[in-house]
């Protein structure tokens, strides 16, 4: 498992190399906070900046990449670290601290 480094900065863009299925894959991330719906959305691109997946809501309790398993980009989960919080979704202040993004191998 790999923890993707996140911050609550609005409209953040960064590149990260993630170990998936025995390979190191470079992804470009773009995260934005949807203020009306009050949740984070992630865009995932390859190293050539071709969008692989767009508008993935960052919510707890499910593999964020399950419906994209055919892409072999691994599995990803938002994990709540602070169990005293009522909400199961990160807000505009606690992404990367109370909620982390954990990435792992492809689940078949």
Q: Where are the domains of the chain?
A: 2-104
SS3 at position 100: strand
Residue 77 neighbours by CB distance under 10 Å: 18
The whole-number average pLDDT for the span 45-67 is 95
- pLDDT value, residue 27: 97
Reported as a single tens digit per residue, the pLDDT across 71-107 is 999 999 999 999 899 988 999 999 999 999 999 999 8
d(CA 92, CA 41): 11
- pLDDT value, residue 108: 62
Burial 82-95 (b: 16+ CB within 10 A, else e): eeeeeeebbeeebb
Task: Of 52, 35, 41, 36, give the one whose Cα is nearest residue 12.
Answer: 41
Reported as a single tens digit per residue, the pLDDT across 15-41 is 999 999 999 999 999 999 999 999 999
């Amino acid at each position: 498992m790999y923890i993707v480094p996140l911050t609550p900065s609005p409209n953040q863009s960064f590149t990260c190399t993630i170990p998936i299925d025995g390979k190191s894959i470079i992804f470009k991330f773009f995260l934005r906070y949807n203020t009306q719906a009050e949740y984070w959305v992630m865009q995932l691109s390859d190293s050539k900046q071709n969008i692989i997946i767009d508008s993935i809501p960052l919510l707890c309790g499910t593999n964020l990449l399950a419906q994209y398993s055919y892409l072999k980009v691994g599995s990803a989960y938002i994990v709540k670290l602070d169990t005293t919080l009522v909400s199961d979704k990160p807000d505009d202040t606690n992404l990367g601290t109370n909620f982390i993004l954990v990435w792992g191998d492809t689940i078949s």
